[in-house]
Structure 1
């Protein structure tokens, strides 16, 4: 497929121009490559609606992906044909869609949450405390920059979110001392990097072209940088990216085991617990919706299940 390099260069340009997050860009590129492989390396321009139907059906039947995953693959293909090829994407597809399941999220009690956090250590623990204390997704926590922490107002400004809209959420008072000490270490790393000729960080929205020296400024550095430097594939500059998600995920998994919690817990469970505990404390659903960054209050309503005692508040006859 000789046109692939040119195609993916065009894709990267469109992602940058529309200010898509790095994570979205990576996911879309993955699905477009999977689509091309599925059709034996045929250039996508030579394929049409039937090819897309076949691919989406394959994901549902053979790969057994979740509905959200299939929708993400579909969105990637829409982006390709609409934004790169400038073709009409008003397709009437007859693909078998993955089944949408409504699930009740796993939530930790306050005691369980503290037990897990107490088994964690180092930077991973600080990240987990922010996920629970501020209701952040893991990627949102790792993408935090120095300028996003407002110690004076006790708040965190969350940018580059899932819906590409910023929001404000509380910065727990109990973390201020720990974060201050952590940032002192990070600043020493950054000053050392600058002396060695490094210190550049990847900037969102192509700001490096508008502000050529901003990528070395302290305020743009990641709150949780990686311990090692790496070369940015886009700019070619060497700097520190944020901590890899697996560092937090592995530490949390071990902490859950040590705390003897018999639930399936992930980093997102901490966000679920944040929302649930706020509702238990009497905060209204709209406030929680805003803090979580949900566009529709129906998404937030799923946490109200814990406010009922037992199944829909019904007392079991066995207890009688």
Structure 2
């Protein structure tokens, strides 16, 4: 029987081979480790399907996890069996956590206006531009910070386009750059160019992190301007995949913190988050549902429809009719 560390390392290796996101790697490895620990208390001869059922049921009954969390754990365990152990599981009949049917929230245009006015830049974080890209392009929090210079296409369309690469589901898509973001984005790229030049002069051996094995296939790519980040981090760090010093981009928590602080100032704390701005984009946009689906990067139009804040139509009230 393999040890916990051996199993987790096998999962990590397979995930890297498939080029999954680092966040997915961390999440899956944590859940697989937790599942391994749970199975130590079960009879070795118990079928895998029953072990998975018991694990998922305990998450729901004992730990009261949300449906999203339980599904995340289930996905990690399925990955372990299918991709690492080469085993296809049969039917899983576990007690599943229920997903509450909450109405999606979307701030009004006035609330977005108040939030934008309250956002503050820092020397290393152009928070105002990032928030505008989230709302103006309907981006996920990880998408603007992951932009590289080559992903900004100024010659496409009236104001240019952004190429969002390897987004959720591994899909690429393009979104138009809002007019209000053109000048700030050009200024940010000038700042990024200054950092790139400083790196080339002071730390010529330090490049940027690249996806997959691109750095091996194209050794000069990490040092080229077109592969540099639009929103580079202020300091170098260790690339977890190659174990070398690199320049990485800003982290998601920089945007999350900026939005949280701004929301607190205008009494919107807990109501507006970076992802809620994506919902606001969908609700406030005048695009058709199918056009929105493509801009948001959804596979299903039902998913896109769920992003729209419902507008209650004017209906005839029977009591009002009676009294009129």
TM-score (structure 2 length as normaliser): 0.87
* RMSD after superposition: 2.5
Deviation (angstroms), 1:206: 2.1
Cα separation, 2, equivalents of 1:45 and 1:180: 62
Cα separation, 2, equivalents of 1:8 and 1:217: 35
In our comparison, the structure showing a higher alpha carbon Rg is 2
Q: Is it true that 1:143 corresponds to 2:150 in the alignment? A: no
The answer for the alignment partner of 2:137 in structure 1 is 134
- Bigger CA drift: 11-20 or 143-152? 11-20
Post-superposition CA distance 1:58-96 (Å, at most 9, x none): 22122222222211211111111111111222x212211
Structure 2 stretches lacking a partner, 5+ long: none
- Bigger CA drift: 200-209 or 178-187? 200-209
Cα separation, 2, equivalents of 1:84 and 1:46: 19
The answer for the alignment partner of 1:182 in structure 2 is 188
TM-score (structure 1 length as normaliser): 0.88
Post-superposition CA distance 1:171-214 (Å, at most 9, x none): 11211111111111112112212222343222113212221221
Deviation (angstroms), 1:164: 1.0
The answer for the alignment partner of 2:116 in structure 1 is 117
Equivalent of residue 232 in structure 1, options 239, 242, 267: 239
Superposed counterparts of 1:127-276, under 5 Å:
127-153=130-156, 154-195=160-201, 196-261=203-268, 264-276=271-283
- 2:155 is paired with a residue whose SS is coil
- Bigger CA drift: 259-268 or 180-189? 259-268
Note if contact 2:149-2:227 (Cα within 8 Å) is conserved in structure 1: yes
Deviation (angstroms), 1:41: 9.0
Cα 1:198–1:107 shift into 2, 3 Å:
farther
Cα separation, 2, equivalents of 1:4 and 1:24: 19
Structure 1 stretches lacking a partner, 5+ long: none
Q: Is it true that 1:29 corresponds to 2:29 in the alignment? A: yes
Deviation (angstroms), 1:151: 1.8
Cα separation, 2, equivalents of 1:218 and 1:41: 54
Superposed counterparts of 1:12-23, under 5 Å:
12-23=12-23
Note if contact 1:133-1:274 (Cα within 8 Å) is conserved in structure 2: yes
Deviation (angstroms), 1:45: 11
Cα 1:45–1:293 shift into 2, 3 Å:
farther
Deviation (angstroms), 1:3: 3.4
Note if contact 1:151-1:176 (Cα within 8 Å) is conserved in structure 2: no
- Bigger CA drift: 33-42 or 11-20? 33-42
Deviation (angstroms), 1:40: 4.6
The answer for the alignment partner of 1:73 in structure 2 is 73
Moved over 4 A (4+): 44-47, 315-318
Deviation (angstroms), 1:229: 1.0
Deviation (angstroms), 1:99: 0.5
Cα 1:169–1:14 shift into 2, 3 Å:
same
The answer for the alignment partner of 1:92 in structure 2 is 91
The answer for the alignment partner of 2:11 in structure 1 is 11
The answer for the alignment partner of 1:301 in structure 2 is 305
Post-superposition CA distance 1:122-144 (Å, at most 9, x none): 21221111110100100122222
The answer for the alignment partner of 2:296 in structure 1 is 292
Cα separation, 2, equivalents of 1:135 and 1:37: 40
Cα 1:235–1:295 shift into 2, 3 Å:
same
Cα separation, 1, equivalents of 2:21 and 2:233: 19
Post-superposition CA distance 1:143-168 (Å, at most 9, x none): 22221111221111111211111111
How many residues were matched structurally?
Answer: 311
- Bigger CA drift: 226-235 or 29-38? 29-38
Post-superposition CA distance 1:211-266 (Å, at most 9, x none): 12212222222222221111112212112222122221121111112123376211
